């Protein structure tokens, strides 16, 4: 299996622009997670899905952030409008329910100028 796939790997945008990050979980995994990592706040869980349904979005920082999972093999995290403080590495992870190992993708490094 190719593992969790994220795109793009790097994104540089200007303040106010819309940013869309993409994730393809491992086939057969029914949970998908979005994390954000910064030097100041470390690794934070933003939202997670089970069977394409959002279960816990308490970590989503504000209304500018939204996440969707239209099907079992694809999820997006959108920031609109983006701000410089959104600059971070965003990780996607997936897990098969009933198992113990979350598999993380390589991350998307977002820079908002």
- Residues making contact with other proteins (CB under 8 A): 4, 31, 33, 42-45, 48, 50, 55-56, 91, 93, 95, 98, 100-107
SS3 percent helix, strand, coil of the chain, rounded to 5, is: 5, 55, 40
Nearer to other proteins, 15 or 43 (CB): 43
Nearer to other proteins, 45 or 72 (CB): 45
Q: Closest separation between CB of residue 49 and other proteins, Å?
A: 10
Q: Are 69 and 49 in contact (CB under 8 A)?
A: yes
In the chain, how long is the greatest CA-to-CA distance? 41
């Amino acid at each position: 299996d190719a593992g969790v796939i994220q795109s793009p790997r790097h994104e540089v945008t200007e303040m106010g622009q819309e940013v869309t990050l993409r994730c393809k979980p491992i086939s057969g995994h029914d949970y998908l997670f979005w994390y954000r990592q910064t030097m100041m706040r470390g690794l934070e869980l933003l939202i997670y899905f089970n069977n394409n349904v959002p279960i816990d979005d308490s970590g989503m920082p504000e209304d500018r952030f939204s996440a969707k999972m239209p099907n079992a093999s694809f999820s997006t995290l959108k920031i609109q409008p983006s701000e410089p403080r959104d600059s971070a590495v965003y990780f996607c992870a997936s897990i098969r329910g009933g198992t113990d190992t979350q598999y993380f993708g390589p991350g998307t490094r977002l820079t908002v100028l």
